[in-house]
Amino acid sequence: MANANVRVRFCPSPTGNPHVGLVRTALFNWAFARHHGGTLVFRIEDTDAARDSEESYEQLLDAMRWLGLDWDEGPEVGGPHAPYRQSQRMDLYKDVAAKLLEAGHAYYCYCTTEELDERREAARAAGKPSGYDGKCREVGAELKAQYEREDRKPIVRFRMPDEAITFTDLVRGELTFTPENVPDFGIVRANGAPLYTLVNPVDDALMEITHVLRGEDLLSSTPRQVALYRALAQIGVGNGSTPSFGHLPYVMGEGNKKLSKRDPQSSLNLYRERGFLREGLLNYLSLLGWSLSADQDIFTMDEMVAAFDVKDVNANPARFDLKKCEAINADHIRRMDPKAFADACTPWLRAPHANWAPEKFDQAAWDAIAPHAQTRVTVLSDITANVDFLFLDEPARDEASWTKAMKEGSDALLRTARAKLAEAEWNADAIKAAVVAAGEEHGLKLGKAQAPVRVAVTGRTVGLPLFESLEVLGRERTLTRIDAALAKLAG
Ligand code: GLU
Ligand code: ZN
- Are residues 344 and 370 both part of a single domain? yes
What pLDDT shows up at residue 353? 61
Helix 410-423 vs helix 475-490: angle between axes, to the nearest 10 degrees? 160
List the domain range (segments joined by +) for residue 56.
Answer: 7-84+251-319
Does residue 128 fall inside a structural domain?
Answer: yes
Per-residue model confidence as pLDDT tens digits over 314-364 = 999 999 999 999 999 999 999 999 999 999 999 999 976 678 988 899 999
User: Residue 214: which region, alpha, beta or left (left: phi > 0; alpha: psi -120 to 50)?
Assistant: beta
CA 11 to ligand 1 center in whole angstroms: 6
What values do phi and psi take at 133, rounded to 5?
-95, 5
CA 164 to ligand 2 center in whole angstroms: 22
- Are residues 346 and 447 both part of a single domain? no
Is residue 228 within 8 Å of 203, Cβ to Cβ? no
Does residue 330 fall inside a structural domain?
Answer: no
Nearest to 77 by CA among 101, 44, 124, 28: 44
Which atom of ligand 1 approaches the CA of 217 most closely? 10
What values do phi and psi take at 211, rounded to 5?
-135, 130
- Are residues 455 and 436 both part of a single domain? yes
Here the CATH number for the domain that contains residue 28 is: 3.40.50.620
Domain count, the chain: 4
Which atom of ligand 1 approaches the CA of 214 most closely? 8
* Cβ density class 475-486: b for 16+ within 10 Å, e for less: eebbbebbeebb
- Are residues 50 and 118 both part of a single domain? no
Does residue 326 fall inside a structural domain?
Answer: no
d(CA 479, CA 414): 10
| Contacts for 110 with CB less than 8 Å, ≥ 6 apart | 136, 139, 144, 147, 152, 154
Does residue 216 fall inside a structural domain?
Answer: yes
User: Which ligand has the minimum distance to the alpha carbon of residue 147?
Assistant: 2
Is residue 265 within 8 Å of 257, Cβ to Cβ? no
- Of 319, 348, 372, the position where a domain reaches its end is 319
Here the CATH number for the domain that contains residue 415 is: 1.10.10.350
Alpha helices in 235-286 (DSSP H): 268-274, 278-286
Is residue 61 within 8 Å of 103, Cβ to Cβ? no
Per-residue pLDDT of the chain (491 residues; tens, 9 = 90+): 689 999 999 999 999 999 999 999 999 999 999 999 999 999 999 999 899 999 999 999 999 999 999 999 999 999 999 999 999 999 999 999 999 999 999 999 999 999 999 999 999 999 998 899 999 999 999 999 999 999 999 999 999 999 999 999 999 999 999 999 999 999 999 999 999 999 999 999 999 999 999 999 999 999 999 999 999 999 999 999 999 999 999 999 988 899 988 888 999 999 999 999 999 999 999 999 999 999 999 999 999 999 999 999 999 999 999 999 999 999 999 999 999 999 999 999 997 667 898 889 999 999 999 999 999 999 999 999 999 999 999 999 999 999 999 999 999 999 999 999 999 999 999 999 999 999 999 999 999 999 999 999 999 999 999 999 999 999 999 999 999 999 999 98
Task: Give the Å distances, CA to CA, from 489 to 32, 396, 409, 410, 445.
Answer: 63, 17, 10, 9, 22
- Are residues 105 and 238 both part of a single domain? yes
- Are residues 75 and 93 both part of a single domain? no
End-to-end CA distance of the chain: 75
Does residue 328 fall inside a structural domain?
Answer: no
Does residue 414 fall inside a structural domain?
Answer: yes
What values do phi and psi take at 165, rounded to 5?
-110, 125
Collapsing DSSP to helix, strand or coil, 165 comes out as strand
- Of 290, 319, 348, the position where a domain reaches its end is 319
- Are residues 100 and 240 both part of a single domain? yes
What pLDDT shows up at residue 61? 98
User: Which ligand has the minimum distance to the alpha carbon of residue 13?
Assistant: 1
- Of 231, 248, 265, the position where a domain reaches its end is 248
Per-residue model confidence as pLDDT tens digits over 117-146 = 999 999 999 999 889 999 999 999 999 999
- Are residues 99 and 182 both part of a single domain? yes
Catalytic residue among 135, 261, 404, 448: 261
Alpha helices in 318-465 (DSSP H): 322-334, 338-349, 363-373, 383-391, 399-405, 410-423, 428-441, 446-458
Is residue 43 within 8 Å of 203, Cβ to Cβ? yes
- Are residues 164 and 212 both part of a single domain? yes
What pLDDT shows up at residue 255? 84
Is residue 211 within 8 Å of 8, Cβ to Cβ? yes
Q: Which residues pair with 90 in a beta bridge?
A: none
CA 161 to ligand 2 center in whole angstroms: 17
- Are residues 403 and 371 both part of a single domain? no
- Are residues 382 and 466 both part of a single domain? no
What pLDDT shows up at residue 264? 86
Angle at Cα 264 formed by Cα 348 and Cα 329, nearest 5°? 50
* Ligand 1 shell residues, CB under 6 Å: 11-13, 45, 200, 214, 218
Here the CATH number for the domain that contains residue 348 is: 1.10.8
Does residue 331 fall inside a structural domain?
Answer: no
109 is in an annotated binding site: yes
Per-residue model confidence as pLDDT tens digits over 3-34 = 999 999 999 999 999 999 999 999 999 999 99
d(CA 470, CA 468): 5
Residue among 59, 218, 219, 250 to mutate when testing ligand 1 (max atoms within 8 A of CB): 218
What values do phi and psi take at 87, rounded to 5?
-60, -20
Does residue 327 fall inside a structural domain?
Answer: no
- Are residues 176 and 284 both part of a single domain? no
d(CA 92, CA 232): 13
